[in-house]
């Protein structure tokens, strides 16, 4: 169990550190790379939580897909400007106060929370269970996702395509 | 075993960092990245709670949230590109025609 | 009637199928060919309305996550009306402004489908996904004039704050799930009822985050920052659609979650909503007075109207409950008609939405000026219009629930708001200067939509009882 604990603290440090780096980094490309690291770290935490399937999806869809889209958008917009996109920090105080208040509220509530009962393990074939549930109990939200993707793709293509 | 509270606190810290990032708002794409951090923090909470219940529901919800986040990112970045054709700058303070 | 399992989603399904039909028709359209895409949408909306009427009183549940109770169906019918009027106004605007008809109508229908799903969802996950469907469609509609940099900027601001608030909403869902072990509202409700005395602080965190999420979507002060820009930057007909449809759908989900599931904690959330309501009414009215652009003024006015709806939510007694639904209908028809007039007065080159553009409108376009006057009087809450009855019931609910402060703020802000609505009316009638607006032709369809809305506003103002009874019956199904 010490391996778990060690891995958790390592990942927690990595996550918080890379998230801070995304927010504070002066260079947009560095920020995206830090985001990729944070998303990969999250996949590690998912592994600790026995969510192997999700860890794989996280790497494919998030760290792979979203980071690629962002890099793509930066490349396109940078070419239009012809200079590196600058990062100038503003309103640090306001943001810090709101974030700190939010964090304080949530953490104090979590610490105060009565202890949860012992945790049973999920067991069974995880991927199979997820697949079955998505096709049964979660079938309506799943179908709704199809509608969402269709609307989103149509909108994205409309904005990004060049004028006729 | 690591207690649930630890995961929740890491998640809350990530969420707060993302929120701060949105408020710092230096660059439209960075704001988007900050929102991704917030969603990622929420996902962490879902999986941790689901593990606590010994149920895969939390993981399925996260699977859905990831899809939603991808769709959102696609639309957002497409708008960034459209915006860029007009403005050629991504600093939100450069927009003057509407009050920000 | 329908095959058993999917009854409750049939209205949403009709609208989605219409959206798909529009997309398909657009994809196979020959270049330069004009297709009646709006008509295709209307067919879907009418089908949805018929199925909603057939579902009345049946309390159909599908997949365990969608419930077509009378409350959901009432809001569904309001949303279908909003979409129908929007499409009728759009027929003129799409052709005039050269908007991409296929994308435009498909997105209006997708957004409507998301709104209906949001109003009937019985599961927080479904509420979230429905919210995202409607939000994404509306972000794109806001920037549908992508050659106009202001529209694109508005779309992006709306997108950023929308995504930001969605994250808060989702975090609230995460805590709710973590507490109750489910996102289904019936199970969460059972859990909350059992926990009402426990004082678990995490419940308050969940409640607070959900409240912030909803407050953004109904643009309650101080979460309204996106509203004026998004409303001003979008084409007027889209502004009308989102200021009524998005608000009605979000308010329906808000009422469902807070008045039923979190009802045991109303002692905690009612004071917060009280503050939101007061701030929203005051700021919406005070800042609205200072505007010189009619669209921006109506944006603040719609913020203020969100505040009146919140009063109904705080004073959720027997009168207040029915008043919320009645107000939703009255506000939707009135606001949509007002933005419809603005949309019809614009031209491709100029939006003509500054206050001074309305000078002497009575002399050039008497019909539109008269119709606009009725809308403004209803928004101001003057008799004999729907707006008057709506406000009357909201404020009397607040008084009978003992919220005298809110009622006083509501009446005072209404009186102030009458000033800025009348300013437009005076501009239209009393100013002699020839109008700057070159009168564009108005299609018969759009005119029919306007006349029908005005007739509805006056009918609701004179004979409100049947609709009020209907509203009272509907809302009884969730409390």
List, for residues C269-299, the tens digit of each pLDDT value.
999 999 999 999 999 999 988 888 899 999 9
Q: Give residue A84's pLDDT band: very low, low, confident or very high (50, 70, 90).
A: very low
The string of pLDDT tens digits covering residues C169-215 is 999 999 999 999 999 999 999 999 998 777 788 899 999 999 999 99
Confirm whether A78 is domain-assigned.
Answer: yes
Does the pLDDT value for residue C435 go beyond 60? no
CA distance A18 to A108: 24
Q: Give the pLDDT confidence of C251-261 residue by residue, as tens digits.
A: 999 999 998 88
Q: What is the pLDDT of residue C33?
A: 76
Instruction: Kindly report the nearest CA distance between residue C100 and chain A, in angstroms.
Output: 9
Assign C297 to helix, strand or coil: helix
> Which residue range is the domain that position C82 belongs to?
4-475
Minimal-distance CA residue of chain A relative to B72: A152
Q: Do C63 and A148 touch (CB under 8 A)?
A: no
The answer to whether residues A14 and A45 belong to one domain is yes
H or E element at residue A26: none
Output the pLDDT for position A83: 43
What pLDDT score was predicted for residue B88? Answer: 59
Q: Which of B45-59, C37-51, C420-434 has the lowest mean pLDDT?
A: C420-434
What is the CATH classification number for the domain harbouring A51? 1.20.120.1200
Of A110, A112, A148, Cβ closest to residue C129: A148
pLDDT 10s digits, C42-89? 999 999 999 999 998 888 888 889 999 999 999 999 999 999 999 999
Which of B4, B76, B89 to mutate: most C Cβ within 10 Å? B76
Q: Which of A74-78, C333-337, C363-367 has the lowest mean pLDDT?
A: A74-78
Residue C71 token pair: 């409350």
CB contact under 8 A, A99 and B59: no
Q: CA C206 from chain center: how many Å?
A: 25
Q: What are chain C's partners, defined as 3 or more CB pairs within 8 angstroms?
A: A, B
Contacts of B52 in chain C (CB under 8 A): 178
pLDDT at position C254: 94
State whether C113 and A147 contact (CB < 8 Å): yes
More confident residue, A113 or A89: A113
- Give the residue numbers in B contacting C (CB under 8 Å), as ranges: 8, 15, 18, 22, 28, 31-32, 35, 38-39, 41-42, 45-46, 48-50, 52-53, 55, 57-58, 61, 64-65, 68, 71-72, 75-76, 79-80, 82-83, 86-87, 95, 97-100
Asked if A112's CB is within 8 angstroms of C103's CB, the reply is no
Residues A141, A84 share a domain: no
Rounded to whole angstroms, how far apart are CA atoms C232 and B26?
24
Q: How far is CA C128 from CA A21, A68, B81, C231, C249, in A?
A: 29, 25, 27, 23, 12
Contact (Cβ atoms closer than 8 angstroms) between residue C391 and residue C320 = no
Q: How many domains in chain C?
A: 1
Answer yes or no: do A87 and B30 touch at CB < 8 A. Answer: yes
C319 vs B25 pLDDT, higher one: C319
Return the residue in A17, A23, A100 with the most chain B beta carbons within 10 A, the one to mutate for interface testing.
A23
Q: Kindly determine whether residue B20 and residue A99, on different chains, have CB atoms separated by under 8 Å.
A: yes
Q: How many Cβ atoms sit within 10 Å of the Cβ of residue C91?
A: 22
Subunits close to B (at least 3 CB pairs below 8 A): A, C
Of residues A25 and C414, which shows the higher confidence score?
C414
Q: Which residues contact C403 (CB under 8 A, 6 or more apart)?
A: C274, C311, C314, C315
Please answer yes or no on whether B6 and A113 come within 8 Å at the CB atom: no
Q: Where are the alpha helices (DSSP H) in C181-293?
A: 185-195, 201-217, 226-233, 236-241, 247-256, 266-289
Residue range(s) defining the domain that contains residue A146 = 124-164
- A101-150 residue pLDDT tens: 889 988 888 887 665 655 667 667 888 888 899 888 899 999 999 999 99
Inter-chain contact B86–C152, Cβ cutoff 8 Å? yes
Shared domain for A14 and A80, answered yes or no, is: yes
Q: What is the mean pLDDT of residues A81-98?
A: 60
Question: A90 lies in a domain?
Answer: yes
Q: For C116-146, what is each residue's pLDDT tens digit?
A: 999 999 999 999 999 999 999 999 999 999 8
> Do A131 and A74 lie in a common domain?
no
> Does residue A81 surpass a pLDDT of 60?
no
Is B23 within 8 Å of A91 (Cβ atoms)?
A: yes
| Residue C101 confidence (pLDDT) above 60 | yes
Pair C381, C433: CB distance under 8 Å: no
pLDDT at C153 over 80: yes
- A&C contacts, CB < 8 Å: 76
Domain count, chain A: 2
CB B24 to CB A92 under 8 A? yes
**Mutation site for B-interface testing, chosen from A113, A159, A161 by largest number of B Cβ within 10 Å:** A159
Single pTM value for the model:
0.94
Please name the chains neighbouring A, where neighbouring means 3+ C-beta pairs under 8 angstroms: B, C
Question: What does the pLDDT read at residue A107?
Answer: 87
CB-based contact C199:C233 (threshold 8 Å):
no
Same domain, A76 and A129: no
Domain match, A64 and A106 both: yes
Query: What pLDDT score was predicted for residue C289?
Result: 87
Q: Which of C111, C117, C202 sits opposite A113 (nearest CB)?
A: C202
Choose among A31, A80, A160: nearest Cβ to B33.
A31
Q: Which domains does chain B have, with CATH numbers?
A: 4-94 (1.10.287.3510)
State the DSSP string of C327-381: HHHHHHHHHHHHHHHHHHH--SS----BGGGGTTHHHH-HHHHHHHHHHHHHHHT
* Between C71 and C3, residue with greater pLDDT: C71
Q: Is the pLDDT of residue C436 over 80?
A: no
Contacts of A110 in chain C (CB under 8 A): 202
Contact A152 B71 (CB under 8 A): yes
Does ipTM top 0.95? no
- pLDDT confidence of C92, banded at 50, 70, 90? confident
Per-residue pLDDT at B33 exceeds 60: yes
Residue in chain C nearest A151 by alpha carbon: C137
In chain A, pLDDT over 70 holds for what percent of residues? 82
On the question of pLDDT at C2 being above 50, the answer is no
Banded model confidence at residue C439, pLDDT cuts 50, 70, 90:
low
Q: Does C392 touch chain B (CB under 8 A)?
A: no
pLDDT recorded at residue B97: 45
A95 with A131, same domain? no
pLDDT band at residue A91, thresholds of 50, 70 and 90?
low
Residue with the larger pLDDT of the pair C316 and A78: C316
Residue B90 confidence (pLDDT) above 70: no
The tokens of A106 are what? 């949530």
Per cent of chain C over pLDDT 70 is 97
Q: Do residues A141 and A87 both lie within one domain? A: no
Nearest CA in chain C to A135: C63
Dump pLDDT digits (tens) for B66-80: 999 999 999 998 998
For residue A140, being part of any structural domain is answered with yes
A23 lies in the same domain as A103: yes
Q: Do A149 and B71 touch (CB under 8 A)?
A: yes
- So what's the pLDDT on residue C23? 92
CB–CB contact A153 B67 (8 Å): no
A23 has a chain C CB within 8 A of its CB: no
User: Which residues numbered 50-89 in A keep a CB inside 8 Å of some CB on C?
Assistant: none
Of A61 and B72, the structure prediction assigns the larger pLDDT to B72
Residue A119 lies in a domain: no
Q: Is residue A118 part of a domain?
A: no
Say how far apart CA A141 and CA B73 lie, in whole Å: 20
- Looking at the complex, does the CB of residue A101 fall below 8 Å from at least one CB of chain C? no
Contact partners, residue C18, CB within 8 Å, separation at least 6: C40, C41, C43, C44, C45, C47, C109
Closest alpha carbon within chain C to B41: C171
Cβ of A62 and B40 within 8 Å? Answer: yes
Q: Which of A16, A102, A122 sits opposite B54 (nearest CB)?
A: A122
Give the angle subtended at the CA of C251 by the CAs of B44 and C339, to the nearest 5°: 120
Nearest to B30 by CA among B13, B46, B18, B47: B18
Task: For B10-34, give the DSSP string.
Answer: HHHHHHHHHHHHHHH--SHHHHHHH
Q: How far is C121 from chain A (nearest CA, A)?
A: 10
A and B: number of Cβ contacts within 8 A: 234
Which of C66, C103, C110 lies nearest to residue A147, judging by beta carbons?
C110
- Decide if B68 and C129 are in contact by the 8 Å CB cutoff: yes
């Amino acid at each position: 169990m010490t391996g778990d604990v060690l891995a958790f603290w390592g990942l927690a440090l990595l996550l918080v550190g890379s998230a801070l780096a995304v927010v504070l980094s002066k260079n947009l490309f560095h920020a995206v790379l830090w985001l990729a690291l944070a998303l990969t770290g999250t996949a590690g935490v998912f592994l600790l939580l026995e969510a192997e399937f999700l860890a794989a999806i996280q790497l494919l869809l998030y760290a792979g897909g979203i980071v690629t889209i962002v890099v793509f958008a930066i490349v396109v917009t940078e070419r239009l400007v012809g200079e590196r996109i600058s990062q100038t920090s503003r309103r640090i105080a306001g943001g810090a106060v709101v974030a700190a208040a939010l964090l304080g509220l949530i953490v104090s509530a979590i610490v105060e929370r009565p202890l949860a009962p012992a945790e049973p393990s999920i067991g069974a074939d995880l991927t199979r269970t997820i697949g079955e549930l998505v096709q049964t109990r979660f079938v309506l939200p799943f179908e709704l996702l199809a509608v969402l993707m269709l609307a989103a793709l149509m909108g994205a293509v409309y904005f990004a395509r060049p004028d006729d | 075993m690591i207690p649930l509270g630890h995961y929740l606190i890491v998640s809350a810290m990530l969420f707060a960092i993302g929120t701060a990032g949105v408020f710092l708002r230096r660059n439209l794409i960075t704001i988007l990245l900050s929102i991704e951090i917030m969603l990622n923090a929420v996902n962490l909470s879902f999986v941790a709670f689901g593990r606590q219940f010994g149920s895969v529901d939390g993981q399925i919800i996260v699977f859905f949230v990831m899809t939603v986040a991808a769709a959102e990112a696609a639309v957002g970045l497409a708008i960034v590109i459209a915006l860029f054709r007009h403005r050629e700058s991504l600093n939100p303070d450069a927009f003057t025609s509407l009050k920000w | 009637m329908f095959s058993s399992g999917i009854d409750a989603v049939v209205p949403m399904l009709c609208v989605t199928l219409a959206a798909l039909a529009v997309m398909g028709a657009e994809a196979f359209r020959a270049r330069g060919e004009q297709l009646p895409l709006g008509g295709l949408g209307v067919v879907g909306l009418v089908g949805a309305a018929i199925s909603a009427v057939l579902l009345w009183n049946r309390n159909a549940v599908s997949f365990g996550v969608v419930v077509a109770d009378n409350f959901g169906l009432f809001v569904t019918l309001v949303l279908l009306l909003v979409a129908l009027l929007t499409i009728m106004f759009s027929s003129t605007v799409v052709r005039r402004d050269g908007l991409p008809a296929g994308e435009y109508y498909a997105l209006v229908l997708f957004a409507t489908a998301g709104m209906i799903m949001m109003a009937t969802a019985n599961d927080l996950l479904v509420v979230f996904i429905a919210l995202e469907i409607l939000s994404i469609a509306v972000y794109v509609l806001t920037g549908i004039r992508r050659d106009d940099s202001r529209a694109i900027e508005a779309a992006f601001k709306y997108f950023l704050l929308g995504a930001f608030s969605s994250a808060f909403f989702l975090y609230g869902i995460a805590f709710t799930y973590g507490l109750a072990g489910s996102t289904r509202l019936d199970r969460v409700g059972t859990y909350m009822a059992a926990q009402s005395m426990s004082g678990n602080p995490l419940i308050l965190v969940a409640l607070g985050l959900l409240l912030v999420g909803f407050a953004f979507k109904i643009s309650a002060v101080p979460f309204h920052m996106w509203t004026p820009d998004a409303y001003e930057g979008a084409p007027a007909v889209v502004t009308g659609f989102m200021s009524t449809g998005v608000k009605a759908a979000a308010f329906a989900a808000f009422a469902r979650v807070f008045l039923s599931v979190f009802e045991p904690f109303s002692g905690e959330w009612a004071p917060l909503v009280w503050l939101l309501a007061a701030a929203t009414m005051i700021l919406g009215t005070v800042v609205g007075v200072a505007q010189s652009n009619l669209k921006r003024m109506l944006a603040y006015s719609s913020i203020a109207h969100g505040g009146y709806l919140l009063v109904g939510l705080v004073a959720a007694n027997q009168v207040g409950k029915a008043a919320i639904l009645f107000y939703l209908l009255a506000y939707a028809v009135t606001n949509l008609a007002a933005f419809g007039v603005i949309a019809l007065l614009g031209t491709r080159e100029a939006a003509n939405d500054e206050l001074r553009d309305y000078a002497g409108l009575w002399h050039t376009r008497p019909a539109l000026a008269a119709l606009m006057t009725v809308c403004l009087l209803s928004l101001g809450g003057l008799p004999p219009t729907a707006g008057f009855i709506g406000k009357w019931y909201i404020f009397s609910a607040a008084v009978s629930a003992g919220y005298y402060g809110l009622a006083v703020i509501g009446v005072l802000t209404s009186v102030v708001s009458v000033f800025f609505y009348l300013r437009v009316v005076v501009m239209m009638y009393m100013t002699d200067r020839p109008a700057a607006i070159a009168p564009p032709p108005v299609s018969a369809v759009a005119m029919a939509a306007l006349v029908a809305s005005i007739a509805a506003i006056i009918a609701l103002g004179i004979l409100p009882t049947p609709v009020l009874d209907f509203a009272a019956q509907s809302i009884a199904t969730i409390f």
